[in-house]
Structure 1
């Protein structure tokens, strides 16, 4: 795939993609405000356990200063998540109440940090607690900035089906250079790029491409159910549409989802998933999040 980029004096960034599909030339163009690209989901950051711990300790010290109860001692481990707390006071009842209050305060400080950087804490099967990027929230917050891309798609396909537009997005995204996903359990988000940054940098890992595809489908087809399906070191999208006999699909919460993988570089069709991932596509064991 060839990408031509340019900018105009009015602050618009121009993107023109061209490739061949089944021997036929394909072209796709759109413009994005340069300001939108620079400011897009600007508070997204990679998760840092060290920074999280520092912020929580600061929150704890501030709360202790506000409480100002005589005879209190609070012990924390030197590193790691500072729970459970060990609180001692002159009266055992005071210690119990204060421990509950401080624990709740620390948990809130932790949630505030995760929310600020677009992360969340989830339990993934089988019973694995992880901190990971809040993909549904990024999809929702990216919709406004992606309106020019969705408008270009709508103009290119004024009359189309869910499968046709999904296949076009696959054809486009699979050709964007792939960037490896780092270990999801490490929660580093080292390879993730929010949608406009993926477009600007012309690269992305599986999570990044799935989020961009999901956001554009949500704009173009607001009533179509969507899920992100998490596989070992991989992510794909499930689309609630009419299936074909050859489709790889998954039934979740009473809804059938046709699966698609925009990652690339393999050029796969809607409903086609690599065989080594199909083992994990079982309703009772697969991890997913609705969009």
Structure 2
């Protein structure tokens, strides 16, 4: 039931690819151009030393190793939710893939709430969904190879971390507001993630401005019940106005 692309963690992927790439770097090095590959967590550094007049050879060999790494990560694309960012040279979870693959589970939850949405305000509907996810036991899942749970696995295990809950919340928001922009917002400086939904109808004091649009910021982590009226509290807590952010769009 839960055996899927979330069974393979980045450390397993990285170790396998890096060991093979290091072996390749050693194998293709020549007396006039030598390569050395070092890995650091999710990223790596490829350096070269070469004799005078052999810089072109060193560059060509380095490109072969980089192409191998890129290709190796592409090959495992269908067996994991991790994707390789070639610019950042990092393995990153593709949250949109998770939402898409588990849209039936998220959809069933949405239908449950939709039957109770009649006559409710936007805030009340969002808060119902937030409270549901915040009530699920929090677990940092540090012992799990993948590091987060997919929606079905979180329901089966009855626990989840911030990523698990925010991905589920983003899917629910997209089903509730299919015409509105929904994002998962990574906050690398705080090692946290929240969800955001475009909401021009909401009061100015409850929204966050980005690129001329207003967004509600919601945090499904729990266990405390933080509702949509707390956007400004979340902005301050997670340093939204000054910290680094990575906005990942969510589609179905």
Q: Any idea what the Cα deviations from partners look like across 1:182-221, whole Å, max 9, x if unmatched?
A: 6xxxxx753x111111111111112111111111222232
- Aligned equivalents of 1:103, 1:130: Cα separation in 2: 13
Contact persistence 2:137–2:159 (CA under 8 A): yes
CA contact (8 A) 2:39 2:45 kept: no
Secondary structure at the counterpart of residue 76 of structure 1: strand
RMSD: 3.9
Matches within 5 A, 1:236-251: 236-241=194-199, 242-244=201-203, 246-247=205-206, 249-251=207-209
Change (3 A) 1:179 1:256: same
Aligned pair count reads: 239
Equivalent position of 2:81 in the other structure? 118
Spell out the pairing of 1:1-291 with structure 2 (5 A cutoff): 37-39=1-3, 42-44=4-6, 45-48=8-11, 51-58=13-20, 75-77=35-37, 80=40, 83-86=45-48, 92=54, 93-113=56-76, 116-120=79-83, 131-157=91-117, 161-180=121-140, 190=147, 192-231=148-187, 232-241=190-199, 242-244=201-203, 246-247=205-206, 249-273=207-231, 275=233, 278=236, 280-282=239-241, 285-291=244-250
Answer with 50-59 or 168-177: which moved more.
50-59
Q: Shift of residue 270 of structure 1? A: 1.2
Higher relative contact order (CA 8 A, sep 6+): 2
Measure the CA separation in 2 of the matches of 1:110 and 1:87. 26
Change (3 A) 1:63 1:155: farther
Change (3 A) 1:273 1:78: closer
TM-score by length of 2: 0.74
- Structure (1 or 2) with the larger CA radius of gyration: 1
**What CA distance in whole angstroms lies between the structure 2 residues aligned with 1:87 and 1:111?**
28
* Structure with more helix by fraction: 2
CA distance in 1 between counterparts of 2:75 and 2:119 reads: 43
Provide closer, same or farther for how the CA distance between residues 271 and 236 of structure 1 changes in structure 2, counting only shifts above 3 A: farther
**Unaligned stretches of 5+ residues in structure 2:** none
